[in-house]
Structure 1
Amino acid sequence: MLSAQSAVIVRATLPVVGANLDTITETFYASMFADRPELLDGLFNRGNQRNGDQRRALAGAVAAFAGALVARPDVRPDALLSRIAHKHVAVGVTDDQYVIVHKYLFGAIAEVLGDAITPEIAAAWDEVYWLMAGTLIAMEARLYAEAGARDGATWRRWQVVERREETEEVVSLVLRPRGDEPVPPARPGQYVSVRVRMPDGVHQLRQYTLSWDGADGLRRITVKRADEGEVSGLLHATVAEGDELTLSAPFGDVALGEGDAPIVLASAGIGCTPITAMLHHLARTKDTRRVLLLHADRSRAAHALRGDMERLADALPAGKRIFWYEKDGEGQGRDGRMDLEGVDVPKGAVVYLCGPLEFMRSARAQLIRAGVRPKDVHYEVFGPDLLLGVA
């Protein structure tokens, strides 16, 4: 809980700090990497550093957490941080790194805001930081324990036993674990980090959903080659059957839940990967819930995992699927982008949503207009969460 004295100060200074958070986070990352370049080797995604996504996500997370604290100082807004905790353990964040971040973040605040940061203001925001950090450290400790690991040591070697070209831009890799140690279980919709050494010697991590989790220990990741994606490009260009990859344990706070409520699975593009994993689980368990599968793509040819989605949805006792294609649908889907006008969205449905940000904002708004409660819309984001704080 935030102390009463700090709550007054944070509430009064939040507009000024919030207005400068983008500059503060930019200064923070620049100074930290200048002094600690080793953090870019195997921990931070340098692609997200270049395009600014990580900076904007951090600013949004800090603002959302501080705003929630001052709105209800007696309640710690843990729910806001669950997604961040899963992302952290997927890349192996350790407790001592919060001390490093604190040093450079508060140095950036002092540099950007100058004399406006009095000792009292600094102390209040220090309390916010350590409430946030302490919550994350506790969450991450639990997640590491559940994965049978500690101090970020969740890594394991896996062998590629099959490579399948899904589309011109998407490849699936079926993997078998090396060694005899038990494999941490995966929930439908979770992701793993893949750790690769780049040509310049720097290790980079990227998260990829387990699009299939086989009962025999095999697992599958499905990777889209991004335009400027150095890791996805390397995987597409170099990985062949027989090669080995280093993977983390599975993590992710958006996973298919139990219950008897109807389910809506909505995706666009490569957002089909967690949705396909959920479909595999529903089909394997012969789930009798009503399931509405909605997917939008550029074209039928660009629709990765289309065969899996069709087969699995059709196998469900109460399954229905609707696909949208912007072009070349060949009569196998509706034309254009996803439009839920006239679609019978089940009453009381729980929604799982994944795709580009623009798509998720549109689909979420349409589903809420169709009667879905906002709290029942669960979304997965590939990369930093730029939807954080959306009501």
Structure 2
Amino acid sequence: MLSAPSTEVVKATLPVIGAAIGDITPIFYRRMFDAHPELERDLFNRGNQAVGDQPRALAGAVATYATLLVDENAPAPVELLSRIAHKHASLGITEAQYEIVHQYLFEAIVQVLGDAVTPEVASAWDEVYWLMARDLIAIERGLYAAAGITPEHVWQSVVLKTRRQDSPDTVSFVFGAADGTPLPAGRPGQYVSVAVTLPDGARQIRQYSLTGSHSAGEWAISVKAAPARIAEDGAEIPEGEVSNFLHRSVFEGDVLSVSPPFGDLVLDDSDAPLLLISAGIGTTPIIGMLHHLSHTSTGREVTVLHADRSPWHHPLRSQLKSLVGALPTATLHRWYEDLGTRAPREDLAAGLVDLDAVEVPTDAQVYLCGPIPFMESVRDALVARGVAETNIRYEVFGPDKWLASA
């Protein structure tokens, strides 16, 4: 709990810090990477740094955490911290690295705000930082312990057993342990981190949802090759370094470093109706959940909605249809921007997801994954239909820019 004196200072300065945090975080990262280039090269996502996604996500997390601390009517920031802690654990973040972040973050705050950072202001925000850091460290300790590892031993060598092209830009991989022992099972909806060494020597890490495995003790993931593109503001976004490396350079028999499963978007075990909604490669955690449901002989009502550019581009399309078809209480609805020569029908339509065409139980547990604008639109429509926001969970591939814009 934040001390009373610090609470008053943070309340008074939150508008100023909040307004400046978007200027503070890029300076913080640049200072830290200049002093510790190995962090940018071997730990942080260089692509997200280049386009500013990671600084915006950090800014959103810090501002949201501080706001929750000083609002006596706000809920505890458990969901915020859980999401970050799972990501940290999948990267092998250590307690000592919080000291490094603290040093350069506060140097950046002083650089941007100057004389406004009085000793009282510095002390109050220092308390905010260490409360957040210690809460995260405590959660991460529990995650490492549950996985039976330490941060220094997150990475396990796995061998690529099978590789399959699932759509023009999506490849599925199935890994087994290099020593032949069964890999630890993940929970439905979780992901693993994959670390690769790129041609320039950098070690880059990305997270990929588990889509189920062909046999016990294996991990299956599906990877969409992220193309170079132009952002809405005209900025050039380079192609995904790791996704394209996996597509072009990783084949059967190759050995990779992969973390155990982590992630807090996990299928609940209640009897409530399920609404599983995805777009594009966001189908992957949904596929993992459907695998689990098919193996547990669930009697839950399950409604699956998916949106994509076309059937041709839809990753894991046949697997999705097969899994839903194997569940007696499940229904599938799909929307494609381009249906091609297919005729629309009750469960297949042209255009974007239309919730008015679907029965939505107000007590449904909802799991969302896809581009952030898609998820925001769907969430707003669900809330308008009477679904409680607390029943709607989501997964973001990459920095949580949804949080940053909240």
Q: TM-score range by the shorter chain?
A: over 0.9
Normalising by structure 2, we get a TM-score of 0.94
Asked if 1:280 is matched to 2:291, the reply is: yes
The SS at the match of 2:257 is strand
Aligned counterpart for 1:314 among listed residues 313, 325, 345: 325
The SS at the match of 2:332 is strand
| 5+ long unaligned stretches in structure 2 | 228-238
Indicate conservation of the 8 Å contact 1:172/1:220, yes or no. Answer: yes
Render the CA deviation track for 1:314-334: whole Å, top value 9, x for unaligned: 111210110000002523621
Q: Distance in 1 between matches of 2:69 and 2:182?
A: 40
Indicate conservation of the 8 Å contact 2:82/2:139, yes or no. Answer: yes
Q: Distance in 1 between matches of 2:222 and 2:343?
A: 26
The SS at the match of 1:382 is coil
RMSD, aligned CA = 1.5
Normalising by structure 1, we get a TM-score of 0.97
Q: Percent identity?
A: 53
Q: Distance in 2 between matches of 1:169 and 1:180?
A: 30
Across the two proteins, how many residue pairs are aligned to each other? 391
Counterpart residue type for residue 125 of structure 2 = W
Aligned to 1:21: 21
Asked if 1:243 is matched to 2:217, the reply is: no
1:388 CA drift (Å): 1.8
Structure 1's 272 and 102: CA in aligned 2 closer, same or farther, altered over 3 A? Answer: same
Asked if 1:6 is matched to 2:6, the reply is: yes
Greater shift in the superposed pair: 75-84 or 369-378: 75-84
Asked if 1:291 is matched to 2:315, the reply is: no
Q: Distance in 2 between matches of 1:117 and 1:237?
A: 50
1:75 CA drift (Å): 7.3
Aligned to 2:235: none
1:73 CA drift (Å): 8.9
Asked if 1:371 is matched to 2:386, the reply is: yes
Structure 1's 74 and 135: CA in aligned 2 closer, same or farther, altered over 3 A? Answer: same
Counterpart residue type for residue 355 of structure 1 = G
Greater shift in the superposed pair: 98-107 or 148-157: 148-157
1:199 CA drift (Å): 0.4
Aligned to 2:376: 361
Counterpart residue type for residue 295 of structure 1 = H
Q: Distance in 2 between matches of 1:336 and 1:152?
A: 47
Aligned to 2:395: 380
Aligned to 1:193: 193
Greater shift in the superposed pair: 34-43 or 268-277: 34-43
Counterpart residue type for residue 11 of structure 1 = K
Q: Distance in 1 between matches of 2:215 and 2:292?
A: 10
Asked if 1:128 is matched to 2:119, the reply is: no
1:179 CA drift (Å): 1.6
Q: Distance in 2 between matches of 1:352 and 1:377?
A: 6
Aligned to 1:233: 244
Counterpart residue type for residue 193 of structure 1 = S
Counterpart residue type for residue 100 of structure 2 = I
Counterpart residue type for residue 293 of structure 2 = L
Greater shift in the superposed pair: 322-331 or 262-271: 322-331
Asked if 1:140 is matched to 2:152, the reply is: no
Indicate conservation of the 8 Å contact 1:91/1:152, yes or no. Answer: no
Indicate conservation of the 8 Å contact 2:275/2:367, yes or no. Answer: yes
Aligned counterpart for 2:343 among listed residues 326, 331, 335: 331
Aligned to 1:32: 32
Q: Distance in 1 between matches of 2:144 and 2:156?
A: 14
Aligned counterpart for 2:313 among listed residues 302, 310, 323: 302
Render the CA deviation track for 1:135-160: whole Å, top value 9, x for unaligned: 00000000001111112421111111
Aligned to 2:100: 100
Greater shift in the superposed pair: 333-342 or 228-237: 333-342
Structure 1's 258 and 215: CA in aligned 2 closer, same or farther, altered over 3 A? Answer: farther
Indicate conservation of the 8 Å contact 1:161/1:242, yes or no. Answer: yes
Aligned to 1:206: 206
